[in-house]
Structure 1
């Protein structure tokens, strides 16, 4: 091993069981404050990935996340939020986890140690060179993820990774490595904590920036969101009222007429121009 596995280094704190509740929480919070700064250092790499993704998406490409355990679950979480938030078909951003869907709730023994399964999982989605694969692994050593990235690269597919161990094997495999050094975990080796939080921040940045770049946001509004409940219908109505300078009743009528915020805004803008 020619790199330091930071995620396994001892915590900056000891005797955790002897701390009172306030001390535990204060010290956890101290560690959490370091996360955003660590992510900030990776913005150039994240930007590079988003720019490549936006090009691929304009040509019908897709984004695949692959991971195991917490990392896999975070990828699935990010992917699952794209359709309701931005109105994209669910197959455009896909999260895959070692062990399959059952591993979302319960760990599947040895699933992450399989070096060939990720590529088999990706092939079920007819993955091709218009797509991008992002491997997520705090340790940077997860065989499922490394194997998937290697096979994707062999087949001419752009790859990236999110890891918390700079210089790790996964970073050497990925075309665009995003290496977020958050330091030791509060509980030694518990990467569901700072590492997992940093991954969530990076995933938010990747998918949100991508959706903005490909036109799924107007101004600062989620104009393509799915109107699946009363809260979202109300939000959509208010967006139209603000965007067109009409009252709530008229905005509600326009939302019912066009079926989406974006269609209402675009159609009424066209009418104004004419």
Structure 2
């Protein structure tokens, strides 16, 4: 009990001691004041995040995957980030995987006791045949969740890359990770409610990791997500608009390129920019490891 009380995430916030007697507007202002502290705290962790990203990319280029493991809010944030990668960047659903203590049902209803198991994450990761080219990032605001510790221990045993994201200084999970990240967000507006600042910090870091990994894998051209899957009407329109914007062609030509490329923005762009057909564009992308600019260079173009 004493150890928990000492955690940064469990401290009492003197700035919000009167939050229960304030007007609605002032309650919201107090919460927002605390939230505004988070981005600058996360910024201090960029030197720790960058090498982790580089290692993830290197392993993915060798066929590795990225796993997030966590419990409660932390686990849900990992599942959310993983779930958003396929529609946003067109990657296979098996490339980034979120695992939460207690399984899928824990996304909606807390599964009591699941996070206290040192063995459960090992079983979950074993079900996915975790290998030495994979990466496992443990998420725990308190930095001490047994489910996460057990998963990181198992990952290290088999040679997988390990990272940890916590919101306390000297986190227990940091001891089991090659790349520990500690975003110390301090006392919450509501004591112990780590879905607030701590959750926001973890969400920001996950956004940074997955987005920068996808950029380095060639899923972004300039600042456009050109590998999105046009799985609904909105994304089809977005795809065609990207082709128009990035090449300056007419609406009709963008439609033609979209169809001839097999609904691939990346191929459509190369086809128009370099005046080649779909097969040549595909080959150039292969030689450019999926990067449009490298594909253009391969075909002798300027970037």
TM-score range, shorter chain: over 0.9
Of 268, 275, 281, which residue of structure 2 is paired with 1:271?
A: 275
Q: Paired residue for 2:265?
A: 261
Q: 2:133 aligns with which of 122, 130, 134?
A: 130
Tell me, yes or no, if structure 1 residue 226 matches structure 2 residue 229. yes
Q: Write out the 4+ residue segments of structure 1 that deviate beyond 3 Å after TM superposition.
A: 1-4
> What is the rounded CA distance, in whole Å, between the counterparts of 1:251 and 1:44 in structure 2?
41
| 1:62-114 C-alpha deviation (Å, 9 max, x unpaired) | 00000000000000000000000000000000000000001011101101001
Q: Superposition pairs for residues 1-274 of structure 1, below 5 Å?
A: 1=3, 4-12=6-14, 13-258=16-261, 259-271=263-275
**Distance in 2 between residues matched to 1:121 and 1:86, nearest whole Å:** 25
Q: Is the 8 A contact 1:4 1:165 kept in 2?
A: no
TM-fit CA distance, 1:4: 4.5
Say which SS state the counterpart of residue 106 (structure 2) adopts: helix
* In structure 1, C-alpha distance between the alignment counterparts of 2:169 and 2:271, rounded to whole Å: 49
1:110, 1:15 → 2: CA distance? Answer: 33
How many pairs does the alignment contain? 274
- Could you state the TM-score of these two structures normalised by the residue count of structure 1? 0.97
How far off is 1:2 after superposition? 11
Measured in 2, the distance between the counterparts of 1:193 and 1:48 equals: 27
C-alpha displacement at 1:156, in angstroms? 1.1
Cα contact 2:69–2:137 (8 A) shared by 1: yes
Q: Is the 8 A contact 1:136 1:162 kept in 2?
A: yes
Secondary structure class of the residue paired with 1:81: helix
Gaps of 5+ in 2: 277-298
